[in-house]
Amino acid sequence: MEIFGQLAGGFATALQPINMAMLFVAIVLGLVIGVLPGLGGTSGVAILLPISLFIKNGALPGSNEVTAIIFLAGIYWGALFGGVITSILFNIPGEPWAVVLLFDGFPLAKRLRRPGLALASSFVSSFVGALVATVLFTFFALPVAERALQFGPAELFAVFVLSFATLIGLGAEAPMKSVAMLALGLLLAAVGFDTITGEQRLNFGQVPLLSGIGFVPVTIGLFGIGEILASAEEQGIGYVEQISARLGLRDVREAFVELGKRIRLVLSNSIIGFFFGVLPGHGATAASFLGYGLARQYSKNKENFGKGEISGIMGPQSAADSAGVASLVPMITLGIPGSPTSAVMMAGLFIWGLTPGPVLFIQHQDFVWGLIASIYLGHLMTFILCLLAVPLLAMIMRVPYAIITPFIIVISIIGSYSLNNSMLDVFITVIFGLIGYWLRKLKYPLAPLVVALVLGDSTERELRKALIAGHGSPLYFFNSPLSTLLMLGALVLVLIPLVRTIRARRRGAVARPAGVAH
């Protein structure tokens, strides 16, 4: 019952006019960001992060930190929905998690001439997925946060290690590349003053580096500029296949009927997506592919997949949106980002002077419950906006490349500069944009780098606090059953890729791909 009372308080906060207005603005921005192929939810949130600081500081009448987090989260919800529009109508994924909709969303829209049904099916299943995840979030978050309050430095360090191990063990890319990126993130986080002794390190005598390498300029570069460069290479200034963007009431009604036929699939994928999204570093993209795989696996019409099967839209969409919501759970309860986007939001919390984690949950209840209530409201608002504004959103694709691309770069540069009024940050953004583009091309994962950059300071602090408490003995990490369990879990996760390789070699399954060089 306590939870219902707090949720009601959260709704009272979220329903304040300024919060609802900023939620609306953020969702519209998120939908636009989602529709634009060169810009993702993570980069959108990163680019607009500095604006959230002004919102938090009361630049708008009545705005505060709740307005700021509702603003950032709203961008993400909009992007989660908006990314699918271009996949279905133009065969161009607006977001990484919408790639999977190319398989069945576009064929349903084009070959079967049902774009409205494809879009409505996607929006309806996204909404159900997000709703299920938000309900789970509401009931899981408080117990987790209360348990986490009892964590000491050893347990906290073990949680960080476990989250890093998840990125290595369950990542899609080569594990050693994940390790290299993770360590690079930790190293970048260590630049500047050591927070415990005050010693300078890794600044090579450069005064501007004493304050460290800012998380925001790096993320805007890696995701904002990096994605634009990758998009320029992949799509160039090419022809965009377009089909009708009309969505009628008949489509919505039919989508609900189709949802009724697949309700078990959508609900189970939403629940699986939630637990998958809670794992650090994965978020919506991996969940969307998992959701598609599950939908196909348990379908009676496997042969229809790839030809416009509605389960191929509803399965991945429910999982992706559920995972997107779930990625905020570890951020709010434990202070660990569940996805690159939540890592950016977490950086926002740091900038506003809030520390994500269990203490935030207990001490700033209005903030946390306002956010949770805004997730319900945000998804309802996004769902309605999507149904009403698809033709308008589809028109964004007609904004010429020669205007939209430099404009995104201009906004990225404003975002990186305005946080500290620093031209160094602008150059960091540009340089990390080029680095991000190159690393992406060579299949180095960027999520471990970003997560490690955000968590680097906290990880080091907890490690050293634990070592001081244990008089320098690493055995201190195994003093409590929980930290021992977490450490062992981390070890198992790190060993997964090794075991996979050994098993594959034993089976002789390492077949030589076509067109390879020795």
Partner 1 sequence: MRPYQVATAAAIALIAAVAMFDSLAAFNPSAGTAPGDVGARWYPFWAAAIMGSAALIVAYRVLTTPQAVEGVFAGRTSIFSVLKLAIPMLVYATLIGGIRWRDGDINYTVIPPLGFYIATALYMGGFAWWIGRYKIWWVVLILVAFPLVIFAAFELGFRVSLPKSFLYDEGILPF
Q: For residues 152-181, which are near partner 1 according to CB under 8 A?
A: 174, 176-177, 179-180
| Measured distance CA(429)–CA(90) in Å, rounded | 30
Size of the site for partner 1 (CB under 8 A): 71
Minimal distance in Å, beta carbon 182 to partner 1?
8
Q: What binding mask, one character per residue, do residues 92-121 give for partner 1 by CB under 8 A, x or -?
A: ------------------------------
| Measured distance CA(59)–CA(57) in Å, rounded | 6
Is residue 495 part of the contact set for partner 1 (CB under 8 A)? no
Give CA angle at 97 (96, 99), nearest 5°.
70
Q: Which of 470, 494, 495, 496 binds partner 1 (CB under 8 A)?
A: 470
Contact 136, 277 (CB under 8 A): no
Q: Which of 19, 86, 327, 405 binds partner 1 (CB under 8 A)?
A: 405
Contact 66, 19 (CB under 8 A): yes
Q: Which of 401, 420, 440, 484 binds partner 1 (CB under 8 A)?
A: 401
Report the SS3 class of residue 277: helix
Return the number of the residue (48 or 387) whose C-beta is nearest partner 1. 48
* Segment 31 to 60, residues that bind partner 1, using CB under 8 A: 50-51, 54, 59
| Measured distance CA(387)–CA(319) in Å, rounded | 20
Minimal distance in Å, beta carbon 445 to partner 1?
12
Return the number of the residue (257 or 517) whose C-beta is nearest partner 1. 517
How many other C-beta atoms are found inside a 10 Å radius of the C-beta of residue 15? Answer: 14
Return the number of the residue (189 or 360) whose C-beta is nearest partner 1. 189
| Measured distance CA(28)–CA(31) in Å, rounded | 5
Which residues have CB under 8 Å from 430's CB, separation 6+?
A: 221, 225, 413
Report the SS3 class of residue 201: strand
Is residue 460 part of the contact set for partner 1 (CB under 8 A)? yes
Return the number of the residue (123 or 157) whose C-beta is nearest partner 1. 157
Return the number of the residue (63 or 138) whose C-beta is nearest partner 1. 63
Minimal distance in Å, beta carbon 516 to partner 1?
4
Minimal distance in Å, beta carbon 359 to partner 1?
24
Q: Identify the DSSP state of 208.
A: G
Q: Which of 196, 263, 502, 504 binds partner 1 (CB under 8 A)?
A: 196
Which residues have CB under 8 Å from 325's CB, separation 6+?
A: 130, 133, 134, 137, 274, 277, 375
Return the number of the residue (256 or 438) whose C-beta is nearest partner 1. 438
Minimal distance in Å, beta carbon 505 to partner 1?
11
| Measured distance CA(208)–CA(192) in Å, rounded | 9
Minimal distance in Å, beta carbon 515 to partner 1?
5
Which runs of consecutive H residues, i.e. helices, occur in 15-114? 17-35, 41-56, 65-90, 101-110
Is residue 438 part of the contact set for partner 1 (CB under 8 A)? yes
Is residue 406 part of the contact set for partner 1 (CB under 8 A)? yes
Is residue 444 part of the contact set for partner 1 (CB under 8 A)? yes
